[in-house]
Amino acid sequence: MRIAMIGTGYVGLVSGVCLSDFGHTVTCVDTDAAKIDRLRAGQVPIYEPGLDQLMVRNAEAGRLRFTTDLAEALEGADAAFIAVGTPSRRGDGQADLSYVMAAARDVARLAHDGLVIVVKSTVPVGTNARVAAEIAATAPDLSFDIVSNPEFLREGAAIEDFMKPDRVVFGCKSERAAGVMRDIYRPLFLRSFPIVETDLESAEMIKYAANAFLATKITFINEIAALCERIGADVREVSRGIGLDGRIGPKFLHAGPGYGGSCFPKDTRALARTAQEVGIPLQIVEAVIGSNETAKRRAVEKIFELCDDSVANKTIAVLGVTFKPGTDDMREAPALTIVPALIGAGAHVRVVDPKGRVEGAALLPSVTWEDDAYAAAADADAVVLLTEWNAFRALDLPRLAGGMRTRRFADLRNVYPIDALRAAGFDRIVGVGRPGYGQRDDAIVLAAE
C-alpha cells in the first residue's frame, strides 16, 4: 500500500514509521520545514525508545520518506492519514479541531478519486462526519471514503503497542474502505491481534472512553491513598489486593501525584465537554478531572509538611519532571504544578531528568538543572522523587543522604521501602498512601468505626 501520513508529531511519526516497517510505502508530510530536514537527516525530534533506529532502517530501505509537499505525499496514495494535533481549546476544554479541518481541506484540494482519508487524530464524537462534510464542500466532485482509526500508543512503549496492540479499531461506512484498512493492518490480522471494525461514532467514542476509564483508575487509587494515610493502611497492599481481581486488574493502580501527559488530561476534558453539549453530563469524568488537580496540590502540601511547612530559602532537589518515565513529554506533567508552587513559596529548586531538560528548560525557567541525582541533592534540604525513571530506582541512598544539609525525602512514587530510606540516614520521609504519612492521632478510632 502507498500511504500519506499528514503530521509528524508523536502519533504521526510513530504510526508512519511502523506502517513502513509493515512493508508499506509511507510518505510523512509536515509544514515544518526544519523538522522535515531533521527527519531526512535521521534525527528524531521526540524521545521514543527504538524509534530512531526503526526510522533510519525503513528510510534506507526506501519505504519511508519525508516532505513538506502534500501533493507529493498524496500522489498514488491508497490512504491519507490525518495525524495532526487536537490540543485543548482555551476556555471550554473541548478539543481544538482547527488543525484537523485545515488538513482535511488541504487533502480535498489535492486528492484523487478513491482516496481513503483516515482520521488518526483523537477527535470528539461526530468529528469524522464533520471532516467528511468539509471535504465534500471543498471538493464536491471528489469520490472518497472517511475512516476513524484512533491510536492507543503509550509513550515510552509506542513501537511495541503499534506492533503488538491490544486491539486495532477502525470505523467506516463502506466495505471498500474497510478492505483498504484490512490491507494496511494485514500483518496484525495474520498474527491474530484483535481488530474492531465498527461505525465512525463508535470508533471515536472507544478512544475517549478508554482514556477516561484509565484516568479514573489512577484517580481512584490516589483518593484511596489519601484515605490510607488517615487510617494507617498501605495503598501498595490495597492496590495489590484489588488488582488481583480479574475484573479490576493491576494496571493503573499505582498511587502518585496525579496523571499528566498528552492524552488523559486533554481527552477527559474534551469528553466531559462533549457530554455537556448534548445534555448528558458525565459526573464521574468531571469528578476525575477535579480530583486529579487535588492530587497535584496534595503533593505540594506533602513537600511543605516535609520541610516544616515552609520551603522559603530551602534547596529542593527534584528527581524527574516528565509526566512519566521513558518519554521527554512534559505536557500536563504534575511537575508543572508542583515545581512552580515550590518556587513561588521561595524555594531554590534543582532538577535532574534523563530526557526532560530540552522541553523542561522552557517550561521551568527558574530551576537549576543538574546532571545526576547526587549533584542535585548536594547541600539540599529535601529530595523529591517525582518521576520514577530507572536512574532513580536504584540510587545509592547513603551517598544521596550523606551529601544533604538536612536529610528529608519525599517519595511521591513509592519507589523505596521506608526501612531502606531510614537505614540510609533519612530522618524525615513522606510517601503516598503509606502508613505514618499524614496519619491523624485518631486514625485507630476512625478505622475501628
SS3 label, residue 368: strand
Q: Is 294 annotated as a binding residue?
A: no
Q: Do the beta carbons of residue 141 and residue 170 sit within 8 Å?
A: no
Backbone angles phi, psi at 428, to 5 degrees: -130, 125
DSSP state of 391: G
Q: Is 328 annotated as a binding residue?
A: no
Q: Do the beta carbons of residue 315 and residue 381 sit within 8 Å?
A: yes
18, 28, 172, 263: the active-site residue? 263
Contacts (Cβ under 8 Å, ≥6 apart) of 218? 252, 253, 254, 256, 258, 259, 264, 292
Q: Is 260 annotated as a binding residue?
A: yes
Q: How many helices (H) and strands (E) does the chain have?
A: 19, 14
Round to whole Å and give the CA distance between 7 and 119: 11
Round to whole Å and give the CA distance between 400 and 378: 8
Q: Is 255 annotated as a binding residue?
A: yes
Distance of CA 259 to CAs 168, 216, 351, 383, 444, Å? 25, 10, 20, 21, 31
Q: Is 105 annotated as a binding residue?
A: no
Q: Is 274 annotated as a binding residue?
A: no
Q: Is 425 annotated as a binding residue?
A: no
Q: Is 158 annotated as a binding residue?
A: no
Q: Is 268 annotated as a binding residue?
A: no
172 a catalytic residue: no
C-alpha cell at 401: 543522604
Q: Is 397 annotated as a binding residue?
A: no
Round to whole Å and give the CA distance between 387 and 143: 49
Q: Is 324 annotated as a binding residue?
A: yes
Q: Is 86 annotated as a binding residue?
A: yes
Strand partners, 351: 318, 369
Q: Is 155 annotated as a binding residue?
A: yes
Q: Is 266 annotated as a binding residue?
A: yes
Give the length of the chain.
Answer: 449
Q: At what angle do helices 200-231 and 264-277 cross, to 10 degrees?
A: 110
Q: Is 35 annotated as a binding residue?
A: yes
Residue 370: name the closest of 385, 381, 357 by CA: 357
Distance of CA 436 to CAs 230, 238, 308, 408, 421, Å? 8, 16, 16, 15, 14
Which amino acid, 122?
T
Q: Is 152 annotated as a binding residue?
A: yes
Q: Is 204 annotated as a binding residue?
A: no
Long-range contacts of 136-139 (CB under 8 A, 24+ apart): 136/108, 138/104, 138/105, 138/108, 138/109, 139/108, 139/109, 139/111
Q: Is 243 annotated as a binding residue?
A: no
Q: Do the beta carbons of residue 412 and residue 382 sit within 8 Å?
A: no
Active centre residues (catalytic) = 263
**Residue numbers belonging to the annotated binding site for NAD(+):** 30, 35, 86, 122, 155, 266, 331
Output the known binding site: 30, 35, 86, 122, 152-155, 207, 252-256, 260, 266, 324, 331
Which residues are annotated binding-site positions for substrate? 152-155, 207, 252-256, 260, 324
